[in-house]
Structure 1
Amino acid sequence: MTTDTAGTASHPAPAPPSVPAEDERRRRWRLVLGGDSAEGTGSALTGRDAAMDDALTALYGGGGKQGRGGTNRSGGLGASAPSVARWLGDIRTYFPSSVVQVMQRDAIDRLGLSALLLEPEMLEAVEADVHLVGTLLSLNEAMPETTKETARAVVRTLVDALEQRLATRTRTALTGALDRSARIERPRHRDIDWDRTIRANLRNYLPEYGTVVPERLIGHGRAAQSVRKDVILCIDQSGSMAASVVYASVFGAVLASMRALRTRLVVFDTAVVDLTDRLDDPVDVLFGTQLGGGTDINRALAHCQSKITRPADTIVVLISDLFEGGIRDEMLKRVAAMKTSGVQFVTLLALSDEGAPAYDRDHAAALGALGIPAFACTPDLFPEVMAAAIEKRPLPVPDQDTRP
């Protein structure tokens, strides 16, 4: 029984209030230990608990445990999509969504079920999550036409959920940053930034009147309808970056929907693909990627550099684990040249909830020497990172940053 399994088994539906606490404790231990023998717990599984145990054993079983009738049980979901689909339905019945996602991931990793994801009836039974979508994207080229529409529906479900979670916060943070980046010294009354004005004039506080008399008004201009900033998202689509590709595609669509930003999205391995024309639909962006392959960061940055027309108003976000297969020195010179020209350059080792992946520490250190920290960023922190880049202030590098 793995640690994941033990954690999973701690989520079963609670026993009725009438069940004594000691019996409930034995029941939970029984589910953690697995198998059908009540030896050591004095508790046998029946009904719903027995069905939960069967679902867990199908994935995590083995080790010589004896099943019903004294037969030896081992992990396995069978070789057909219908049997796996039934198992997927069972775990969605018995476990919460977060646990279902862990079990799906383990089933793909432990039992080699990736090929079955090419069958529509299998896809209809899965719980959409970032890792599952990454697996589907890696199978995109092998996917038959009869499966692609179902796969798109699964991906659409996740993308819609992510947009709902992230879009409003991102637009709010970036709109505020764009307004603040256009501060003016003689603002109209409605454009006064009262917080900054008061802070700048505290020496003029009159205690007898309980007020501050401002000598200088500080304001922020209202964002114009014209493009204020250019944003280039440059995304490594090697296999280890699957979650980052998913989140970056969603953020790319959100940024592209803002009139004050002109957003470009570029994905790369050893080749470079510009997907800017698909940014109105992140699902199209995702199916335009091809996870896996090598990495040529220098070639990708060369493409991005060729698209820069206003360096002082451009933000380049490189999302990569920095394992460069191209020309290292030329890549670093290119980054330095962009930064010197006024480009705001941001390097994210990952854009996901999982922390930093394995990454090239030498390249991260070299970027750090150029004044560009490399760190992993969660999706919830990304709007703040972008807002800081727009305002040209220090980036909010997490406490657990991965700078060498």
Structure 2
Amino acid sequence: MSRPPHGTAAGPAAGPEEPARDPGLERWRLILGSAAERCTGALHGDAAAQDAALDWLYGRDEDLLRRGVRRGAGGSSSREGGNEPSRLTAVDWLEDIHRLFPKETVERLERDAVESYEIHEIVTDPEVLARVEPSQTLLRAVLRTKHLMNPQVLALARRIVETVVRQLMERLRPEVRRAFTGSRSRRPSRLPLARDFDFRSTVRANLVHYQPRERRILIQRPHFHSRTRRHLEQWQLVLLVDQSGSMAGSVIHSAVTAACLWNLPGLKTHLVAFDTEVVDLTSEVTDPVELLMKVQLGGGTDIARAVGYGAGLVENPRRTILAVVSDFYEGGDPYRLVRTVRGLAEQGCTVLCLAALDEQADPVYDRALAGRLAQAGAHVGAMTPARLAEFVAEKLGGGGQAR
């Protein structure tokens, strides 16, 4: 694991007790590590503290062993001559990086600590949780490790869940509302609403009534746009979400998306989480924080069982969207899964097989099984939450087709 770039490496100007510094050499020393010290010289002040913080984290890398660099206990590199720095705890390290590095570097360091090196103290130590800046990376870590937390730590971890969910809701809710507001179409309307007044069509249709002397047009027949209608008839959205460990990001965004879609006119939303068991979380959708605190990430995957449960919720197949969010590495019966999907599609149900439901929507999935599901009538791909909301809105308005 390479060290991240972090902007200017040098700290404040050297005091009288410190040798003169070359910021360029210090930066290269921080990037290349202690092996470059013969050419760059030793680090001092904040630069030395930055190096210690980076070494505490990246000194754990197994690649150091292959390169012949010895590591001390706790992951930091051993130094010859008994000059090994004092041991840092996760609390000390977090305090240091927030003091020494810019925000974007801190976020990268915290992400690497949790995801690459699985330093669980970041999300299970109450002192750390009290200091840490909430982020989606830390939220995923909380969901993966909350079963290790005692009630006191869990209460602190809830702060991370609440903060990140609020940020996601603030970002996603306007996008969902825009998707469901309805937009102007090119078709004329007989309903005279000022907001839908069609200026160009009105002028064009009434040019014959132009009065040259008064230089005005008499409007005898105003024209108006129609608006696409999103809520003509009741639809169902059944959202089935794989809660295996690799799907943490999609679980988070699925919960927030379902909350944004909840109680929209013309739409009945269900949210179901599954691994080898199926848990209907629809009653918790109004509180995505509480919902996420109940999710249990990990375990096997039985997609066929989940889709079978979802099929049982369908009231009117032709007005139902059943979306399965998974990596589609099936641990259950793939033949049953394909058969159930084919049956739903033949009844007129819109089946979406989504490889991701997060902001990046980077698809990672079993392409062989996904191909079989596509042949059975499902629409396979990856969507961001905003795009799923648009898709649902288009289906409700009768104006969209799955792609």
Quick one: which amino acid aligns to residue 249 of structure 2? A
For residues 55-134 of structure 1, the aligned pairs below 5 Å read 55-61=53-59, 63-64=69-70, 70-71=81-82, 83-114=89-120, 117-134=123-140
2:6 touches 2:105 (CA, 8 Å); kept in 1? no
Return the match for 2:237 from 231, 234, 239. Answer: 231
For structure 1, which segment, 164-173 or 29-38, has the greater mean C-alpha deviation from structure 2 after superposition?
29-38
SS for the counterpart of 2:327 is coil
1:306-345 equivalence runs, <5 A: 306-345=312-351
Q: What's the TM-score once normalised by structure 2's chain length?
A: 0.78
Map 1:190-269 onto structure 2 (within 5 A): 190=193, 219-220=226-227, 228-269=234-275
Task: Please tell me whether residue 393 in structure 1 is matched to residue 400 in structure 2.
Answer: yes
Q: What amino acid is aligned across from residue 318 of structure 2 in structure 1?
A: A
Task: Give unpaired runs (5+ residues) of structure 2.
Answer: 14-20, 72-76, 211-220
State the AA in 2 paired with 1:306. Answer: G
Structure 1 residue runs of 5 or longer lacking an equivalent are 199-203, 398-404
Deviations 1:50-83 (A, max 9, x none): 2211111111135249877744769x975xxxx2
Of residues 338, 351, 355 in structure 2, which corresponds to 1:349? 355
Determine helix, strand or coil for the equivalent of 2:30: helix
What is the aligned-residue RMSD (CA, Å)? 3.9
Q: Report which of the two structures shows the higher radius of gyration computed on alpha carbons.
A: 2
Is contact 2:341–2:378 with CA below 8 Å preserved after alignment?
Answer: no
Is the CA contact 1:319–1:350 (under 8 Å) kept in the aligned structure 2?
A: yes
Tell me, in whole angstroms, the C-alpha distance in 1 between the residues paired with 2:401 and 2:22.
56
Q: Report the equivalent of 2:27.
A: 28
**2:196 & 2:379 partners in 1: Cα distance?**
31
Corresponding letter in the other structure for 1:281:
D
Following superposition, the deviation at residue 261 of structure 1 comes to: 2.3
Q: Supply the AA of the counterpart residue of 1:158.
A: V
Q: Indicate conservation of the 8 Å contact 1:9/1:31, yes or no.
A: no
- State the shift of 1:363 in Å: 1.2
Amino acid at match of 1:51: A
Name the residue aligned to 2:51: 53
CA distance in 2, matches of 1:77, 1:158: 32
Partner amino acid, structure 2, of 1:393: G
How big is each residue's C-alpha offset from its partner over 1:145-189, in whole Å with a ceiling of 9 and x where there is no partner?
Answer: 121111111111111111112211122113327x97xx9886413
- Native 8 Å contact 1:350 1:356 kept in 2: yes
TM-score, reference length from structure 1: 0.78
Residues 141-150 or 92-101, more deviating:
92-101
Instruction: Tell me if the contact between 2:6 and 2:102 (Cα under 8 Å) persists in the aligned partners.
Output: no
CA 257–130 in structure 1, closer or farther in 2 if over 3 Å, else same: farther
Kindly indicate whether the alpha-carbon contact (under 8 Å) linking 2:240 and 2:322 is maintained by their aligned counterparts in 1: yes
Contact in 2 for aligned 1:184/1:221 (Cα 8 Å): no
2:10 touches 2:46 (CA, 8 Å); kept in 1? no
Is this contact kept in 2: 1:256–1:280, CA < 8 A? yes
